[in-house]
Amino acid sequence: MFNIVDSNGNKGGFATMPEKLMERVMKHGARWFPNSELISINKTMAGSPSHLTFKSGITSIAKEVILNMPQRPLISVIRKSTLPPGAVNANLFSALHAVQTEIVTKLYMHYSDAWWRKLNLTVGSFDQTGDTQNMLLEGRYHDGHVNCDKTTGACQGGEAMQRNAHKIPEERFLLFFVFHHLKILNFRPQFLNFPKKL
């Protein structure tokens, strides 16, 4: 695994790269539209300006457009757009559908003692079976941001876990679904022998 680090060697986070790229393009006159849902792009021919239409009803004209969007919203924009012939070619179509959608839940935990490093558990997978009373977990974990004292060698920091719902077999996913929704509804049928508090 590769990490982006700052000048002090601390992890900068995955958002560092797009943030730095944004800083650079804005210095060259680019404009950013936060919290504005793009609906469509209308472009009559290659080299002509692009007419952007937003959900708010605002329109804008741009000579160049940079899109940083998830797969499904991007496909939705393309479907509603009028683009020059050949703009959506086989390579672009293949790239748009090459991304695999995953349903995941991430947990970030911070400890004053990075105990997992002492056990050499900096990366790996986990699988904890569950039932109607205990949450099932399956996924992977990796070393988070950790600071170590150069004198004592003591480390503190975080560990990240990711639960991958798409890799859970159907019958186990159904168990998770039931557990999760009964917990939300605060429903405890007697025949399932739920504890007094979930």
pLDDT tier, 79 (very low <50, low <70, confident <90, very high otherwise): very high
Last residue of a domain, one of 46, 77, 96: 96
Structure confidence by residue, pLDDT tens digits, 114-158: 888 888 888 888 777 766 666 666 777 777 777 788 788 888 877
d(CA 32, CA 98): 27
Neighbours of 141 (CB within 10 A): 18
d(CA 138, CA 134): 13
Question: Is residue 65 one of the residues assigned to a domain?
Answer: yes
Structure confidence by residue, pLDDT tens digits, 99-112: 877 777 777 777 88
Question: Is residue 8 one of the residues assigned to a domain?
Answer: no
Strand order of the β-sheet with 38-42 is: 38-42, 50-54, 59-62
Question: Is residue 14 one of the residues assigned to a domain?
Answer: no
Check residues 44 and 110 and name the one with the higher pLDDT: 44
pLDDT tier, 53 (very low <50, low <70, confident <90, very high otherwise): very high
Same-domain check for residues 187 and 108: yes
d(CA 35, CA 133): 40
pLDDT tier, 195 (very low <50, low <70, confident <90, very high otherwise): very low
d(CA 7, CA 4): 10
Closest CA to 142 of 179, 118, 168, 117: 117
pLDDT of res. 170: 46
Domain count, the chain: 2
Same-domain check for residues 164 and 119: yes
Question: Is residue 23 one of the residues assigned to a domain?
Answer: no
pLDDT of res. 67: 86
Question: Is residue 10 one of the residues assigned to a domain?
Answer: no
Question: Is residue 151 one of the residues assigned to a domain?
Answer: yes
Q: Is the pTM of this model over 0.85?
A: no
> Are 139 and 164 spatial neighbours (Cβ–Cβ below 8 Å)?
yes
pLDDT of res. 51: 96
| pLDDT score of 185 more than 50 | no
Domain that holds residue 83: 33-96
Structure confidence by residue, pLDDT tens digits, 161-179: 665 544 444 444 444 555 4
| pLDDT score of 74 more than 80 | yes
Question: Is residue 20 one of the residues assigned to a domain?
Answer: no
| pLDDT score of 80 more than 50 | yes
Closest CA to 59 of 36, 26, 76: 36
Same-domain check for residues 121 and 158: yes
Instruction: Name 41's bridge partners.
Output: 52
Last residue of a domain, one of 55, 76, 96: 96
| Longest distance between any two alpha carbons in the chain, whole Å | 68
